[in-house]
Amino acid sequence: MSEKPSNLPVNSDRLWGTILETAAFGATPKGGVRRLTLSQEDRKVRDWFKAACEAAGCTVTVDALGNMFALRPGRDPSRAPIGLGSHLDTQPTGGKFDGILGTLAALEVVRTLNDAGIETEAPLCVANWTNEEGSRFAPAMMGSAAFVGDFTVENILGRKDAEGVTVKEALEAIGYVGAAPVGSQPFEAFVELHIEQGPILEAENKTIGVVEHGQGIVWYDGHITGFESHAGSTPMPLRRDALATFSQIVLAVEAIARKHGPDAVGTVGEVTIANPSRNVIPGEVNFTCEFRSPHAEILKALEADFAAAVTEIAAGRKGVTVEIEQVWRKDPTHFDPKVIGAIREAAEGLGYSNRPMVSGAGHDAFNLATRMPVAMIFVSCKDGLSHNELEDATQADCTAGANVLLHTVLSLAGVANAA
Amino acid sequence: MSEKPSNLPVNSDRLWGTILETAAFGATPKGGVRRLTLSQEDRKVRDWFKAACEAAGCTVTVDALGNMFALRPGRDPSRAPIGLGSHLDTQPTGGKFDGILGTLAALEVVRTLNDAGIETEAPLCVANWTNEEGSRFAPAMMGSAAFVGDFTVENILGRKDAEGVTVKEALEAIGYVGAAPVGSQPFEAFVELHIEQGPILEAENKTIGVVEHGQGIVWYDGHITGFESHAGSTPMPLRRDALATFSQIVLAVEAIARKHGPDAVGTVGEVTIANPSRNVIPGEVNFTCEFRSPHAEILKALEADFAAAVTEIAAGRKGVTVEIEQVWRKDPTHFDPKVIGAIREAAEGLGYSNRPMVSGAGHDAFNLATRMPVAMIFVSCKDGLSHNELEDATQADCTAGANVLLHTVLSLAGVANAA
């Protein structure tokens, strides 16, 4: 067993080329990608990915939900493989990097090892998870959630898109109903590289984010009932204005998140008025609201403060009622110290500036973390912008992330022999 | 010339019967009326109304915009007629009284005079104005606005509904393109009876509102531009949240109206988020806003305070811009002292409790007031509710309003002979 080749880089231009090449599957006019899960565009990128992995010497298996696994054998077949990868589906008007970078960088790691003639101790397994985005079928991160047993396969296969097409029908239509049972692929650990989807690395001019936590999250649906009345003839003291009540709640959400900052965020993303009219006082308002924090105790404090604020606001609005339903809750995720350490050491060893980070967004890695040691690598994206055709990242940052992924995987798997 | 018959009442049951009878033209399941202007339901009620006026001895003329005028001759043909009436069209889910009471009470006045054998000095002219509601075609109060020259007939005939049907086509389809030029019907004065559409008379247990003013009104369209970003990964201090900015504006509108109360109201009735999503910070928000006051100086103060508040709110939100466009403005209307006096004397003479009022809503009477002496009579409606299928008023209140209308008209027209 030789020394680990400590500065081996991935082939930056080859990695960048695959990002640009696959962006053609569902390319949008503004330079983004529309590649909804299990669509014909998704089929094309899956076919491309399968052929590329096989050309790189991997054996590709597909499970019953279309999750794809490309296995590169290691010297020690008794060890479960080190997993690496992400997803290839996109938002309806998504970008070229979200998920895609992590999957194609994993392929590039295999290609780089092949070029260098390096065999690892543990096998490697490159993964492409089905429906991370959740835009066509709910829930998001569907493939990895079913993989770890959060949903049954039957439950997921019956989910329908807006046109009434089921996941089962969509999988059959693109030929990605695999023979492998969902959850049967073993992993010793898993590493996911992803763009940050936030502005912190860019703002601090850091290259690598070492993701230690995933935020806990709580989602609410809100319903406010006041009374519709004439905007001209109803005096201010007699109004039961659902929209003014809503506005207090929005500002309370903002204030509560700031109070518990910096490790807390709170957002109202949706609002609709029933029967809106320019000259009618809104009588009924529906909205959604969420809070996130990487710390369990802060998440609980956010929930308590929100409940208290809603009660106080409703009490101050005579004749207005506010109903709040918590529709989803997930405790914070803590990634594995050993995998986190391997990522940090890889970044340091390669000379990349780095910082510990919390992931604000959800990722397949969070689902996997309930069953195996996991951590994530972030690289900067322009203006923190994601879920947008204008999403952008530099070749240098993508390459840096792939290099950290390579050396993290080498550290976790062990090097059997180097050329 | 004999004495005016000082206590002559209208036929309460006959008036109530016509309200219930005509409510069948467009009846809704919850007891309301859907009778959009120039629809087949509108044709039916117009045909009914024309036949009833002719049966009561009136000559009915229709102008080029479908405004209907039923003339009852007076002793002195050199005088222009005293006008009375309102409108028979409704909101999409409207009630049985809004506009309808004023038109059918005007018919009842003629019928009562016929029964009593009373001839007036000046002729009377019962009017049904086209498209007061504005729900199918904009603007609202279309027929009376064109009547006083605020719009040309050609302009109005070309207005389209949501299906692309023009006013001209709709008038032709129901056979109500009249021969009379718009604006040619002379009036010496005009009196409109209407439900209050507000809660004041009910709250103060008063029977008759003597309407002295119409509120001035200013309408705004607002557009807020922030930046869409990920709700999970964008720290609070870096957000450019268009919805939180909007919420501050809503509460500022409410506070400004309260500050200038009680003769001021302010309402935000509509809001939409562009690309709303539960986990995306809203980047673009559009809304509408209005202020009303019966006093010109208060209306100006509301406008100034609103402009200042928007500037201050936008300045406090880095990276967020707020654009406000004033899309309509109308100064307060002051009704005619002589007609107001005639209404107050009629109410007092009949022993009805009454109070001076401001109309919060717009009415055809406001348009007419720019060309002739005008005032309005209000009666209570249940819970102040209007533009709603649950709109309600009592037979006693409707009758009281019709009695005041009768004696106001007798006072203005003069009694030539009484039976």
Instruction: Count how many domains chain A has.
Output: 2
| Residues listed for chain A | 419
A134 shares a domain with A37: yes
Neighbours of A261 (CB within 10 A): 15
Q: What's the number of CA atoms in the CB half-sphere (13 Å) around residue A289?
A: 28
Q: What is the mean pLDDT of residues A131-145?
A: 91
User: Quick one: CA dihedral A249, A251, A255, A258, positive or negative?
Assistant: positive
CATH number at A259 reads 3.30.70.360
Q: What is the mean pLDDT of residues B391-409?
A: 97
A392 shares a domain with A317: no
Contact A408, A338 (CB under 8 A): no
* pLDDT score recorded for residue A4: 55
- Domain endpoint, select from B309, B330, B351: B330
| Residues listed for chain B | 419
Return the H-helix or E-strand segment holding B224: strand B216-225
* pLDDT score recorded for residue A418: 62
Q: What is the mean pLDDT of residues A218-232?
A: 93
CATH number at B94 reads 3.40.630.10
Which of B133, B141, B233 to mutate: most A Cβ within 10 Å?
B233
* pLDDT score recorded for residue B1: 38
Which of B91, B97, B236 to mutate: most A Cβ within 10 Å?
B236
Average pLDDT value over all residues in chain B: 94
Q: Give the strand pairing for A374-379 and A354-359.
A: unpaired
CA of A334 vs chain B CAs: smallest distance (Å): 16
Is residue A41 situated within a structural domain? Answer: yes
Asked if B269's CB is within 8 angstroms of A278's CB, the reply is yes
Left if phi > 0, otherwise alpha if psi is -120 to 50, otherwise beta: which for B415?
beta
CA of A133 vs chain B CAs: smallest distance (Å): 12
Give the ranges where B141-222 is alpha helix by DSSP (H): 142-147, 153-157, 167-174, 200-204
Contact B310, B249 (CB under 8 A): yes
Contact B398, B208 (CB under 8 A): no
A133 marked among binding-site residues: yes
Q: Which amino acid is at A278?
A: R
A210 shares a domain with A222: no
Q: What angle do CA A45, A46, A48 make, to 5 degrees?
A: 60
B196 marked among binding-site residues: no
- Domain endpoint, select from A330, A360, A388: A330
Is residue B316 situated within a structural domain? Answer: yes
B87 marked among binding-site residues: yes
User: How far is Cα B326 from Cα B290, in angstroms, rounded to an integer?
Assistant: 9
Asked if B277's CB is within 8 angstroms of A270's CB, the reply is yes
Which of A279, A281, A317 to mutate: most B Cβ within 10 Å?
A279
pLDDT tens profile B6-47:
789 999 999 999 999 999 999 999 899 999 999 999 999 999
* pLDDT score recorded for residue B45: 98
Asked if B269's CB is within 8 angstroms of A271's CB, the reply is no
A315 shares a domain with A286: yes
For residue A298, give the nearest of A213, A200, A210, A201 by alpha carbon.
A213
A164 shares a domain with A50: yes
Is residue A209 situated within a structural domain? Answer: yes
Which residues are paired to A333 by β-bridges? A214
B363 marked among binding-site residues: no
User: How far is Cα A55 from Cα B318, in angstroms, rounded to an integer?
Assistant: 51
Both tokens of B380, joined, read: 């209570």
B203 shares a domain with B258: no
Both tokens of B214, joined, read: 């119409």
pLDDT tens profile B320-363:
999 999 988 888 999 999 999 999 999 999 999 999 999 988 89
Both tokens of B376, joined, read: 């309005």
Both tokens of B383, joined, read: 């819970």
B202 shares a domain with B305: no
Burial class (CB in 10 A: 0-12, 13-18, 19+), B160: middle
B262 prior amide bond cis, ω within 30: yes
User: How far is Cα B353 from Cα B346, in angstroms, rounded to an integer?
Assistant: 11
User: How far is Cα B268 from Cα A323, in angstroms, rounded to an integer?
Assistant: 22
pLDDT exceeds 90 at position A216:
yes
Asked if A387's CB is within 8 angstroms of B233's CB, the reply is no
Nearest to B279 among A277, A278, A290 (CB): A290
A363 marked among binding-site residues: no
Q: What is the mean pLDDT of residues A3-19?
A: 88
A199 shares a domain with A279: no
pLDDT exceeds 50 at position B3:
no
CA of B174 vs chain A CAs: smallest distance (Å): 28
Is residue B167 situated within a structural domain? Answer: yes
Is residue A187 situated within a structural domain? Answer: yes
Contact B182, B155 (CB under 8 A): no
Give the torsion through C-alpha atoms of A120, A121, A123, A126, to 10 deg.
-40
Q: What is the mean pLDDT of residues B227-253?
A: 94
A28 shares a domain with A84: yes
Return the H-helix or E-strand segment holding A382: none
Is residue B95 situated within a structural domain? Answer: yes
Is residue B181 situated within a structural domain? Answer: yes
* pLDDT score recorded for residue A110: 98
Phi, psi of B355 (to 5 degrees): -150, 150
Q: Which amino acid is at A35?
A: R
A127 shares a domain with A56: yes
Note down the domain range covering A83.
12-214+333-417
Asked if B270's CB is within 8 angstroms of A281's CB, the reply is no
Is residue A6 situated within a structural domain? Answer: no
A344 shares a domain with A388: yes
B345 shares a domain with B276: no
- Domain endpoint, select from B330, B352, B372: B330
CA of B155 vs chain A CAs: smallest distance (Å): 23
User: How far is Cα A49 from Cα A18, in angstroms, rounded to an integer?
Assistant: 10
